[in-house]
Amino acid sequence: MEKIIMRGRSAIGGVAEGIAMVSRETIQGWSGVDDKTGIVIEKGHPFEGMSIKGAVLVLSGGKGSNGWSCHFHAARVGGIGPAALIFPKMDSRTGVAAVVTGVPTVTDLEQDPFEIIRTGDLVRVNGDNGTVEITRN
């Protein structure tokens, strides 16, 4: 079993663990995820058919307007939100998504998360100290 530690900047505190969903292509806001199931419904997206519920989402950023962030609030309220968020860089959309989701969030990592973290890895996000621990078999 291989363990990798990445260091970044804490955006939202707390500690959470889940299976990584990694994509440089972000998810469309209002019509990208089913609000009742958490399943990605965006046609052609690498996550199409997968659920974000309890996952550690590693995304490049937001897509569209700041309304993109509101979808994450709806996911949280509906109990289908992710366990944690990792963004290479924080912008207004990703910052608002992190706040309204209220899950541990790390950004500005020393290494490119898309080069290190793979979909299916077990990832522990420590939003208190800005570390990301990746475990893969």
The SS3 assignment for 75 reads helix
Q: CA-to-CA distance for 59 and 78, rounded, in angstroms?
A: 21
DSSP class of 28? P
- Of 23, 31, 51, 65, which one is the catalytic site residue? 65
Helix (H, G, I), strand (E, B) or coil at 113: helix
* Ramachandran area for residue 121 (φ above 0: left; ψ -120 to 50: alpha; else beta): beta
Quick one: tokens of 98? 């992190």
Both tokens assigned to 5: 């530690």
- Per the annotation, the verdict on 23 as an active-site residue is no
Q: Which residues are catalytic?
A: 65
